[in-house]
C-alpha cells in the first residue's frame, strides 16, 4: 500500500495525489482543499472522482464548490484522513504503519486491496451513466476540464488570482509572468492527466 504523510498545506493536485493513496496520515492543523473553483476551473487530476468516494457526495460537493480549506483534524471522522500525528512524529508514524502492513503476507495484502477497491468503486447514491466506474468518471472529468479552457471563465479566474497575488506580495513583473507560464504549462499537462492517475493506480493497486 501507499501511505501519504501530509503536513502544513495540501491543496489541489497535492490533495488529489494524496487521495489516490491507500492511507493518509496528517498533522492536526494541516490544511486540505480543492480550490480550483476560485480559478474558474475544476479539479482535474481525479478530485471529482476520488473525493466523493472518500467523504460522500454531500461533503464532496461542498468542498469542491466552495473551494474552502478544511483542517485535517476535522476530516478524520469522515474518512478523508485516516490518522493524525504531531508534526515531529509524522514520518515516524507513516513508516511505522507501513512496516506493520509490510510484515503481513504480500499476496494477502495485495488481494485484500484489490477486493476492497472493487467494492468501494461504486457510490450507492450515484444516479448517472458514469456511476461506479472510476475510469469513465475520469474521462468525464477530463472532458469537462478541457471544455472549461475554451471559455472566458478560467481566464478571468486566473487573472483575478494573479492580480490578488500581485497586490498582496508586490512581486516583480517577471515573477508574475513566470506564474502565468506555469499555469499554461499546467493546462498543457492535463492532456495526460488520465495517464498520470492510471499510472499511480497501477502502482497502488498492483
Catalytic residue (choose from 16, 89, 125, 150): 16
Quick check: is 16 catalytic? Answer: yes
* CA dihedral of 59, 204, 6, 11, whole degrees rounded to 10: -50
Quick check: is 36 catalytic? Answer: yes
Q: 3-class DSSP state for residue 179?
A: helix
Burial class (CB in 10 A: 0-12, 13-18, 19+), 188: exposed
Cα separation, 204 vs 206, whole angstroms: 6
Task: Please give the C-alpha separations between residue 145 and each of 139, 140, 163, 186, in angstroms, as whole numbers.
Answer: 10, 8, 23, 12
Task: Please give the C-alpha separations between residue 5 and each of 8, 46, 51, in angstroms, as whole numbers.
Answer: 10, 19, 17
Catalytic residue (choose from 36, 68, 129, 163): 36
Catalytic residue IDs: 16, 36
Amino acid at each position: 500500500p501507499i501511505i501519504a504523510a501530509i503536513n502544513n498545506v495540501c491543496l489541489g493536485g497535492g490533495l488529489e495525489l494524496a487521495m489516490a493513496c491507500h492511507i493518509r496520515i496528517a498533522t492536526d492543523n494541516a490544511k486540505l482543499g480543492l480550490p480550483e473553483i476560485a480559478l474558474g476551473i475544476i479539479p482535474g487530476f481525479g478530485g471529482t472522482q476520488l473525493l466523493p468516494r472518500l467523504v460522500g457526495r454531500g461533503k464532496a460537493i461542498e468542498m469542491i464548490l466552495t473551494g474552502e480549506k478544511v483542517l485535517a483534524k476535522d476530516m478524520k471522522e469522515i474518512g478523508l484522513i485516516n490518522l493524525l500525528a504531531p508534526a515531529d512524529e509524522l514520518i515516524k508514524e507513516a513508516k511505522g504503519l507501513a512496516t506493520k502492513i509490510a510484515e503481513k503476507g504480500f499476496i494477502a495484502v495485495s488481494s485484500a486491496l484489490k477486493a476492497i477497491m472493487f467494492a468501494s468503486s461504486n457510490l450507492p447514491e450515484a444516479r448517472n451513466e458514469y456511476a461506479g466506474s472510476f475510469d469513465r468518471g475520469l474521462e468525464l472529468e477530463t472532458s469537462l476540464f478541457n471544455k472549461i479552457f475554451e471559455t472566458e471563465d478560467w481566464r478571468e479566474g486566473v487573472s483575478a488570482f494573479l492580480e490578488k497575488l500581485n497586490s498582496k506580495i508586490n512581486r516583480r513583473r517577471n515573477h508574475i509572468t513566470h506564474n502565468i507560464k506555469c499555469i499554461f504549462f499546467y493546462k498543457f499537462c492535463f492532456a495526460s492527466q488520465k495517464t498520470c492517475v492510471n499510472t499511480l493506480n497501477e502502482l497502488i493497486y498492483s
